[in-house]
Amino acid sequence: MSESRLDPKRFSKILVGVDDSPDAQLAFRFAMNRAKQDNAELDIVSILEQDDINIYQALNKDYIQQKRSDLEKHLQGYRKIAEEFGIRKVQTYTAEGDAGETIVKDVIPHVQPDLLVIGSSSRSGVARYFGSQASYMAKYSPVSVLVIR
């Protein structure tokens, strides 16, 4: 085998999906370490899942705006941790919808990462009922996916 075939792949842009689940926390730590090791950009995304919002809340614009604001603040906490860890370029993104589908169909085409890092289970949403969104993302993502547990 040639030397280049034995070298591990280096990534230049890593996207990590975060929520409050323990697996997502592990995914974030892995993505930070890999981004630092590869001197890669770290992109952090969190999805406001509609399954978490009832119809009365959905009709309340102030409620939705507050949820978005809370999500943004949460992501800024992740950004600060990554920057303090020594990652030079950190971007954050929020989106709304089904986590797996939104990341695959909207976030990845927009961000254009070469690796997606996700936790194996979700704290909420459809994953509670039908298993992890991770399997959807692993199956349909146009880029490499690393599922952390």
- Please write the tens of the pLDDT for every residue from 83-105: 999 999 999 999 988 889 999 99
Does CATH place domain 10-148 in 3.40.50.620? yes
Please provide the distance, in angstroms rounded to a whole number, between the alpha carbons at the two ends of the chain: 31
**Adjacency order of strands within the sheet including 115-119:** 90-96, 41-48, 13-17, 115-119, 144-148
Tokens of 33: 């370490």
Are 133 and 127 in contact by the 8 Å Cβ rule? The answer is yes
pLDDT of residue 66: 84
Which of 40-54, 72-86, 95-109, 112-126 is predicted with the least confidence, judged by mean pLDDT?
112-126
* Position 28 pLDDT exceeds 90: yes
Q: What is the DSSP letter of 10?
A: P
Q: Domains of the chain: which residue ranges? A: 10-148
* Position 30 pLDDT exceeds 90: yes
* Position 131 pLDDT exceeds 60: no
Of 2-11, 74-83, 132-141, the range with the highest mean pLDDT is 74-83
pLDDT of residue 2: 46
| Mean pLDDT computed over 73-87 | 97
* Position 130 pLDDT exceeds 50: no
Model confidence at 53, in pLDDT bands (50, 70, 90)?
low
Tokens of 94: 């929020």
